[in-house]
Structure 1
Amino acid sequence: MNRERLTPDRIRRLTLSEGQAQAFLWDTDAPRLAVRVTAGAKSFIFEAKLNRQTVRVTIGDFRAWTLAAARDEARRLQTMVDQGIDPRQEKRDRIAADEAKREEAKRIAGPAMEAWQAYIEARRAMWSARHLLEHERVSKEGGEPRTQGRRPGESDKTLPGILRPLLSLPLEQIDADRVRVWLKDEATHRPTYARLAFSLLRAFLNWCSDRPEYRDQVQADACITRMARDELPKKAVKDDCLQREQLPAWFAAVRQIQNPVITAYLQTALLIGARREEVAGIRWEDVDFQWKAMTIRDKVEGTRTIPLTPYVASLLAGLPRRNEWVFSSPTAASGRLQEPRIMHNKALTAAGLPALSIHGLRRSFGTLAEWVECPAGVSAQIMGHKPGATAEKHYRVRPLDMLRQWHTKIEGWILNEAGIEQPAEAGERLRVVHGRL
């Protein structure tokens, strides 16, 4: 064994002889320390016996370590061997611990968007398509070309989702102060959407607080209920609704819309009282023209079956069958109608009618149904309202024929008030005498 007191000069002069694969120069000050030379490297090593087996550990490149530091490390490793500890395992454990620390630091410093995506995937199977779409919209990155017309002054690129600024932060930085500033800013120009986004964010943070991998990063008071009450304007009760005397003007304006899908959609929405996305989500397989029934994908019960009334049946029968969707769109990525409001608002302006939302058509159905003295439980069942009273929950099982009797009567009254000739099938069941059924 070649042993000399190591010096920087001796280490630099150490080279391989011809035919050698490696060469060693052992230190006299730290007997277990050596410099090893191979074809590609020159490093400090430590070598000792543990349980009658040779233990060799590479300390590091001679250019990265000073001689004094290498001797100290060799003595530390010798102490471990004397205590029966394998330095190789200790090194592996140390590397693993350092990697775990780096991963933990990366996880904590990473954006909350990663947890948001995990949240969506965990809840996807339990959410409706509409609820899932809302989560995707509020967190979208933005910057994509607009596929629909833009308002004056708007960019030709889509904007980031309303929650994107918060989700771009590390999860532990989403605290009450940041959320309050965000909410106050958003409430000035889109309070309704801010209210929805706030509720989605609160549900997300609650989910994170129940997960061990995120629990220690969540600020418990980031989305307290009082914050929304303080920063958002009081939620107004919406009362937009078509009145009896407005029906002729509304139908006349809507029936003049050049797009037959939007025309049929708006009239169907009014005459069945369904929610906006429930109507848009009707597939051809959901419509039974033979037995005059239609299945609605309900956000409350999953699905509900309602009568296919004569006038609605005639509207749907006249639509093109481009794909699976009844209210199809050749330009939309989803293949179905996405935004009927624009044409509806134009029709309202042309008719001189006040503002009326798509949900206002649903409200109109429930209100107009009272003119024919329709039982409240019947109209609620058609509209998909969750029953409230005990009698409705447990003691009312209405067959489709009973719903059809009242639904057809409601449709007939609305059409009569609008001055629209009813389909032949409706004429067989309904007779108008002096403007009454």
Structure 2
Amino acid sequence: MTDPTSTSAHERTVQLDKAHVFHSWSAQAALNPFVVAGGAGCRVWDYDGRSYLDFSSQLVNTNIGHQHPAVIDAIAAQAQVLTTIAPATANLARGEAAKRIVDRAPEGFNKVFFTNGGADANENAMRLARLHTGRDTVLSTYRSYHGNTGSAIVATGDWRRIPNEYARGHAHFFGPFAYRSEFWATTPEQESERALHHLERVIQSEGAESIAAVLLETVPGTAGVLIPPPGYLAGVRALCDRYGIMLIFDEVMCGFGRTGSWFAFENYDVVPDLITFAKGVNSGYVPTGGVIISDAIASDFDTKVFPGGLTYSGHPLAMASIVAALDAMENDGIVENAARIGRDVLAPGLAALAEKHPIIGEVRGIGVFWALDLVSDPETREPVSAAVMGRIKSELMARNLLPFLSENRIHVVPPCIVTDAEVAEALAIYDEVLSLDLL
């Protein structure tokens, strides 16, 4: 991991970054970005050879871990054959990638439209729903993130929507979140029932005949790993059917192993009309994403032109990485590992932390997709401050753990390949940091 030129490489990385790189979601002057020189499996390291256990999966995308050799080899092999080709052509890597994706999708999904990432996957899913229904409005929740392109950022519910509201045809509603209920619910069942009533009233108030789609993260990720309460997703499906609305599940973050199943919606026995994906489909090794299209919607364009396209749709290097990643996940039992780790290791381990540390107001999650909701007062559930979260991040990184923090939460989101020993290492670090006088 070390290199005799490591100091100069670190310094040049910092100098070039500060001089020329414009970072997302940031005020630029105060930035001091973490420098990464390399990675493998569940770890990354800097130019001095200091290794960090990656429990962020970067942006919750390296499901297969860093530098998986089968995926690296597939990208290299494809680069020797054909590095790029226009999307109007037929390409074997693209066809193989699409087949592997639809083979894991529900019955009645046989077509994939490839995009450059998750945001434009959601853009095109909304476009397909609007074209199919002849309607305009898309409903999505306030606690959501759907990407940073024109319509996707407006479909997003959190603060990032507000300075970017240039797209039309969007309305928002509150999804269920029992720990911080908007509905004065006292049980998960009550939360589900009241959230569904609220959604139906929004549908009626916006005008059901104007609504093209309900867009939901199956398990909202950046918003806090919000596990749907019993009956909620089935209830949303029933409302969409009642009012002729398309149901889009955004599986960009929660798909391809993250919840211990190929798709998160498999845990809830509900099938949408459109499925968006990115991140975990190839762990982000080459930018890609897409929409898995139900036959009923895809058939609209058998004789009618679909008015959308991207220069890099189905890029051969990305397609080769998808084929290799999904094959490796299948052959190595990586999805099953994520389910087992979540059930047998993370769930009891995080519950034990919550018992020990009053700062943890709630633990919630599934597979390798968890959040610790941190509070300054367990009774009022007052979130801890940004200053406390800043100190927690510093203390975790000082102990060689790379965390994912959002608002008042620690998101526990390791790669799907994580081992029992690595989880134990991370739990010990969380325990040590949460034992500090943080408040």
Report the TM range for the smaller structure's normalisation: under 0.3
RCO higher in 1 or 2 (8 Å CA, sep ≥ 6)? 2
Structure with greater strand percent: 2
TM-score by length of 1: 0.23
Greater CA radius of gyration, 1 or 2? Answer: 1
